């Protein structure tokens, strides 16, 4: 990528990143969706992924804390509420805990993250710090993995229901909600990135931000695939 792109070309470039390195290409993802995991592996996946879920509101608050544009903050805040819940709405983190509970994992143990792998925590905090430290538009661009989420989520619902009879279907509500939330958020973020990143340097940063975020998600699966490090009690 060595010359300035039109917004359409930049969108194509960004979507190509997903086609190449979104975590649906990861071997462990294929095992999960192919019904090849045992219950312990699905537990490990859900437990580690909780670290990511629970960090998303901090990431979005970090983004808002750097945003001087009131309208953008107003347009972004529902992302925090989608995950944390608000008032009567339980939120995505709570729904994830229903999933892990349905898998037989103790709620306090999951929330404590004591069973999560170090690589998982490092990757997740790298994401929060990226949003804290890079430019605001790079932070927005790093959220664009949502562009690729709906397909994987739709597949996941079907795959988990068909392959893992010991998963409580109630526990999958998290994914059902994301089917409408992710496309709305991705469309908004994509518009901001295409509008806000016009110079070559900015466009390269947008691409790098999305690659970085794909790396975060990829490393989560790497960690779970490799399993506990020596000396760890799970």
Q: Which parts of this chain interact with a copy of itself (CB under 8 A)?
A: 54, 57-59, 61-68, 70, 73-74, 77, 80-81, 84-86, 91, 93, 128, 132
Min dist. Cβ of residue 78 to a copy of itself (A)? 9
Q: How many CA atoms lie within 13 A of 175 on its CB side?
A: 19
What does the radius of gyration of the chain's CA atoms come to, in whole angstroms?
18
Min dist. Cβ of residue 121 to a copy of itself (A)? 12
Q: How many CA atoms lie within 13 A of 107 on its CB side?
A: 8
Q: 153: which 2 tokens?
A: 């989520």
Cβ proximity to a copy of itself: between 28 and 96 the closer is 96
Cβ–Cβ under 8 Å, residues 153 and 178: yes
Cβ proximity to a copy of itself: between 3 and 70 the closer is 70
Q: Which long-range contacts (CB under 8 A, 24 or more apart) does 165-171 make?
A: 166/39, 166/103, 167/42, 167/99, 167/102, 167/103, 168/102, 170/98, 170/102, 171/98, 171/99, 171/100, 171/101, 171/102, 171/103
Min dist. Cβ of residue 122 to a copy of itself (A)? 16
Cβ proximity to a copy of itself: between 61 and 157 the closer is 61
Min dist. Cβ of residue 111 to a copy of itself (A)? 9
Min dist. Cβ of residue 7 to a copy of itself (A)? 27
Cβ proximity to a copy of itself: between 63 and 172 the closer is 63
Cβ proximity to a copy of itself: between 14 and 80 the closer is 80
């Amino acid at each position: 990528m060595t010359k300035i792109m039109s917004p359409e070309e930049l969108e194509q470039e960004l979507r190509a990143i997903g086609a190449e390195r979104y975590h649906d290409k990861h071997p462990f993802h294929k095992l999960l969706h192919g019904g090849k995991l045992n219950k312990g592996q699905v537990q490990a996946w859900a437990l580690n992924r909780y670290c990511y879920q629970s960090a998303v509101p901090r990431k979005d608050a970090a983004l808002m804390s750097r945003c001087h544009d009131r309208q953008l903050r107003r347009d972004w805040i529902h992302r925090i509420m989608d995950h944390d819940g608000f008032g009567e709405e339980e939120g995505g983190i709570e729904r994830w805990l229903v999933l892990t509970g349905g898998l037989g994992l103790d709620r306090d143990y999951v929330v404590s993250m004591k069973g999560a792998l170090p690589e998982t925590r490092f990757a997740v905090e790298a994401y929060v710090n990226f949003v804290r430290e890079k430019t605001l538009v790079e932070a927005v661009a790093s959220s664009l993995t949502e562009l690729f989420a709906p397909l994987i989520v739709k597949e996941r619902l079907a795959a988990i229901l068909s392959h893992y009879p010991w998963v409580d279907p109630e526990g999958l509500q998290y994914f059902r909600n994301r089917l409408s939330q992710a496309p709305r958020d991705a469309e908004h973020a994509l518009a901001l990135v295409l509008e806000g990143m016009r110079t070559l340097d900015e466009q390269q940063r947008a691409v790098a931000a999305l690659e970085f975020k794909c790396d975060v998600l990829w490393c989560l699966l790497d960690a779970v695939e490799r399993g506990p490090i020596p000396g760890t009690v799970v």
